Structure 1
């Protein structure tokens, strides 16, 4: 329970703590109103059963002394009217309590989800290479939802219901101390034993549910992402079975949670009913006053109506918190990781000027878990306006080299410097200077315009820059043919347009931001030769204005570069103009038919 409370406090921002204090205050008010309701029921039952006798109210005394000369009928009517007004007010307070506490808890959950997602986006690129996206999606969405449902709200409800139960127990103890002591003597050990049996199983069930959420989400992602190949190969059954197995295990964890949560309620209700029946039997056997017994039993009846549900809810919330701790652990761990590794940037970041030279000094890089370096001792100097071609066999380290220059990957050894400054000293500013066209193009399920001006709000999109990027990427004819033009939807991952068109949209996106350094990582690989020639001709007009890195398998793509570097086994083995490099390395010479 203490762990759940600590997790809850860490979720609450400074500006939200006032709201949570209001939630707690309303919970305290509700608890006192419930205790007052119990007293009113006690008074009313005493009047009905013994109209002429004294009315001893717990904690107050004889009520008739406060209203001397008032007849029993008048007193009953007055108390009934007061109770009617009071219970209406009580109902309003309880509705307000439910509204405010759920609004506050859900609002906190939304803030935590947004904070997690922002943190994931800001995490180093290497983090995303080592973690499956299904885990991050689960934590930012499902785990936060469970944290709200099974930790944040239960903590509030537990405090609220505990106060109600405590207040009711005080009333019961004053009115009937011996039965109350007997009830506590029986119920307290019972609750303790039941919780000791149930809660460890609930914790394991929560951990299993979190694991199966991730596995199921991963199965859906992989099955839908690869649906084209899966359908051709006829492997739908494999992915269906994989998802079905995970979903079955999740259902098992959930029904175990539901069933175990009911065990304490049934145990407590059964025990209390047995106590009431036993009390009635003892009263009859000892020939005690039936009227006094009815009053006490009425009090216990109301207690069964209010205390028992309250006690059940306290135990239920304890069980919910135990189940939800697994989700809370994941969320808190990621928030701690983000806090340690991500430095927030305030305001807009200005691009880092590139005026002198870009230097790679003895750069090494090794992927996590790998036994050998992907890059080893790379030395490279590039001046503004140069056009650099990067070639080499598959797996030689070309893309890794580009990612290191972009700052997506931090060198294991060595450094990347712009005008003498390490790019990682102001990485955001350096990346605002660059544009990249990847081999695997990422497209939003949105319009062409929003894919070109990626991540920019409608009222901030510069239409002139969009048009210039469209022209430079040779997209003008394609856009002109579309009925909706730049407002045409491209579909999920760009499924409504061809591979070549997707590549050109990526080029237009890179050019929209007017970067001073452009990276083409197989950026023309999906274009036909005629379109590639047009794009290369357009890029030629940028030479001298922008520094261009081109990673390519097609030798025609790098022929016009100022320099070509040959990468092999993570090292730059040679560099120079294409013609001189081709003379020294046979693999760079055009194949002779």
Structure 2
């Protein structure tokens, strides 16, 4: 249990932990009010039954004189009004407590979602290569929600109800020791046996439900992501069957968990009624008359009326915690993993650090091997890229071109060697280095938003410079097309740019890279989706940056790289030849074969 509490607390920062502990004070005040409101009812009933006690009891007589009442009836009216005020005050306080507790919980849920999402985004690129995106989406959307609603809220409920139950039970033991102890033992043993019987089953069911829910989300993502291939191949039935299979199992398990959660109340009602009747038997055996036991019976009846819901909430909370605690484990594991493996640009770089790029980019003895891979993707890569020169990496698929560019971008950290800019290691200036780069990937990601928002990607509307947008559109050969659209820059592109052609999506990606006027342009198969005419226009547009920007290109289509200052032919993670286009066309057999000459 201590381990559980430790993990629970580690989901909160120190301020939130202090706030959580301060709620205990509110819980104790609530428990005192609950106990007092229960204890006063039997006294009220006893006075209604025997009003003469008011005159005979020293304290009640003193109170009646203080209130200046003229009769027992008037005293009882005042007492009734006081009772109403007490209950209104108690329930108003408990409503206020429920509000501040809920506000705390939901504020912390937002904070935890932000922490987890920020951690995923700030973690290394390698982390995202190794993790399934559907899994991360599931953790953010489902596990955080489950952790709070099915574990943390039940823990808070458990703490609140345990405090209330403790106060009421202690009060009952003081009033009627023997009957109370027998009832407590009976209920305690019964609840323990019941909980032990079902908690392990609930825990196993919770893990199974989590697994099938995760598979449902993963299946939806994969299906919608590959909808074109699925429809062409007529594979809809396979994906529907897979989804329904996991959905059916998820719902069957949910049915059992819901049934388990419903049983404690019925079980506790049976035990409570049995306990009250046993108390009646015990008091009658003690030889007391009906009039004398009426207040005691009413006390236990009212206490049971309050304790049954509390005991039910305690049991349901315990079952819920056991059923869903794996969500805490999952989130805790991700936060711990990310905490132990902070990226260097977070831990080492100061915001004031500025990387100057005036001379060249030097790649020194780069070696790289992907995690869990048995072979090296790059071996002993050495080259230099002078500022404002254009270079290209060419070669067949799997040659290591993209891996090398990912290292230059700072997304991957080499296991050996360095990327130096004017003699400075980019890993020490990662944030500033990446701000100098405009990156155009082969597969452009487009949000379901306007063309304007997609070009100024990640910027709020009020910070978008439309003049820069139009300059980028012109450079990407898109301005004419945009001007012809009815809504121009406000035209929606659809989910992942579904309303655009492949060439249009690629050119929006190019415009996005050019929007910030970067010093360095990195293009990873950026012209693959362009038709020949558009490619020629793009190359012509690219010529205007010749000698003004440093350009790094990955290409299969060699027409894209004819005007580059230097080409590097890669094969199996090594540079096997280099030179300009004409030199390689004349002297390199592998290049000529790649170019279709041989």
SS for the counterpart of 1:588 is helix
2:54–2:72 Cα contact (<8 Å) kept: no
Aligned counterparts of 1:490 and 1:352: Cα–Cα separation in 2: 36
1:258 matched to which residue of 2? Answer: 258
User: Do residues 522 (structure 1) and 525 (structure 2) align?
Assistant: yes
Aligned counterparts of 1:382 and 1:28: Cα–Cα separation in 2: 70
In structure 2, relative to structure 1, the CA distance for the partners of 1:319 and 1:347 (3 Å cut) is: farther
2:470 matched to which residue of 1? Answer: 467
Aligned counterparts of 1:366 and 1:321: Cα–Cα separation in 2: 42
Deviation by residue 1:407-449 (Cα, 9 ceiling, x = unmatched): 1111122222212222112222211111111111111111111
In structure 2, relative to structure 1, the CA distance for the partners of 1:78 and 1:467 (3 Å cut) is: same
Aligned counterparts of 1:261 and 1:6: Cα–Cα separation in 2: 26
- Measured after TM superposition, the shift of residue 464 of structure 1 is 1.8
Deviation by residue 1:498-537 (Cα, 9 ceiling, x = unmatched): 1000000000011111111111110011111111111111
2:240 matched to which residue of 1? Answer: 240
2:354–2:429 Cα contact (<8 Å) kept: no
1:542 matched to which residue of 2? Answer: 545
SS for the counterpart of 2:417 is strand
User: Do residues 67 (structure 1) and 63 (structure 2) align?
Assistant: yes
Map 1:503-518 → 2, pairs under 5 A: 503-518=506-521
SS for the counterpart of 1:377 is strand
1:482–1:488 Cα contact (<8 Å) kept: yes
- Measured after TM superposition, the shift of residue 159 of structure 1 is 1.8
Map 1:112-191 → 2, pairs under 5 A: 112-191=112-191
SS for the counterpart of 2:418 is strand
1:88 matched to which residue of 2? Answer: 88
Q: 1:498 aligns with which of 479, 501, 509?
A: 501
Deviation by residue 1:202-243 (Cα, 9 ceiling, x = unmatched): 222222232222211110000111111111111111111111
1:30 matched to which residue of 2? Answer: 30
- Measured after TM superposition, the shift of residue 477 of structure 1 is 0.9
219-228 vs 418-427, which moves further: 418-427
- Measured after TM superposition, the shift of residue 65 of structure 1 is 5.1
1:55–1:63 Cα contact (<8 Å) kept: no
- Measured after TM superposition, the shift of residue 474 of structure 1 is 0.5
In structure 2, relative to structure 1, the CA distance for the partners of 1:98 and 1:68 (3 Å cut) is: closer
- Measured after TM superposition, the shift of residue 321 of structure 1 is 2.0
SS for the counterpart of 2:372 is coil
Aligned counterparts of 2:323 and 2:428: Cα–Cα separation in 1: 43
Aligned counterparts of 2:58 and 2:545: Cα–Cα separation in 1: 96
Aligned counterparts of 2:293 and 2:98: Cα–Cα separation in 1: 36
- Measured after TM superposition, the shift of residue 175 of structure 1 is 1.7
User: Do residues 563 (structure 1) and 566 (structure 2) align?
Assistant: yes
Aligned counterparts of 2:314 and 2:467: Cα–Cα separation in 1: 62
In structure 2, relative to structure 1, the CA distance for the partners of 1:313 and 1:6 (3 Å cut) is: same
2:380 matched to which residue of 1? Answer: 377
In structure 2, relative to structure 1, the CA distance for the partners of 1:66 and 1:311 (3 Å cut) is: farther
**TM-score with structure 2 setting the length:** 0.93
Deviation by residue 1:268-319 (Cα, 9 ceiling, x = unmatched): 3211211222333455567531122222111111011111211221222222
RMSD over equivalenced CA pairs, Å = 2.3
Number of matched pairs: 589
1:376–1:570 Cα contact (<8 Å) kept: yes
Aligned counterparts of 1:173 and 1:286: Cα–Cα separation in 2: 17
Aligned counterparts of 2:4 and 2:465: Cα–Cα separation in 1: 48
Map 1:39-438 → 2, pairs under 5 A: 39-53=39-53, 63-64=59-60, 66-67=62-63, 71-281=71-281, 283=283, 288-342=288-342, 344=346, 352-438=355-441
Q: 1:447 aligns with which of 422, 438, 450?
A: 450
Deviation by residue 1:105-151 (Cα, 9 ceiling, x = unmatched): 01100111011111111111110010001111121221111111122
Deviation by residue 1:154-198 (Cα, 9 ceiling, x = unmatched): 222222211211111122112211110101121222222222222
2:179–2:282 Cα contact (<8 Å) kept: no
1:31–1:163 Cα contact (<8 Å) kept: yes
Deviation by residue 1:542-563 (Cα, 9 ceiling, x = unmatched): 1111111111111111111001
Deviation by residue 1:4-49 (Cα, 9 ceiling, x = unmatched): 4323322233444564355333322211110110112121121123
- Measured after TM superposition, the shift of residue 95 of structure 1 is 1.5
Aligned counterparts of 1:463 and 1:347: Cα–Cα separation in 2: 31
Deviation by residue 1:311-340 (Cα, 9 ceiling, x = unmatched): 221222222222232101111111112222
2:577–2:588 Cα contact (<8 Å) kept: no
Deviation by residue 1:362-392 (Cα, 9 ceiling, x = unmatched): 2111122221111122111111111111110
Aligned counterparts of 1:161 and 1:123: Cα–Cα separation in 2: 40
In structure 2, relative to structure 1, the CA distance for the partners of 1:189 and 1:568 (3 Å cut) is: same
In structure 2, relative to structure 1, the CA distance for the partners of 1:347 and 1:479 (3 Å cut) is: farther
- Measured after TM superposition, the shift of residue 100 of structure 1 is 1.5
Aligned counterparts of 1:542 and 1:446: Cα–Cα separation in 2: 29
In structure 2, relative to structure 1, the CA distance for the partners of 1:39 and 1:63 (3 Å cut) is: farther
Aligned counterparts of 1:282 and 1:86: Cα–Cα separation in 2: 32
2:439–2:523 Cα contact (<8 Å) kept: yes
Aligned counterparts of 1:360 and 1:219: Cα–Cα separation in 2: 42
Aligned counterparts of 1:262 and 1:328: Cα–Cα separation in 2: 24
Aligned counterparts of 2:254 and 2:190: Cα–Cα separation in 1: 25
Unaligned 5+ runs, structure 1: none
Aligned counterparts of 2:382 and 2:400: Cα–Cα separation in 1: 14
Unaligned 5+ runs, structure 2: none
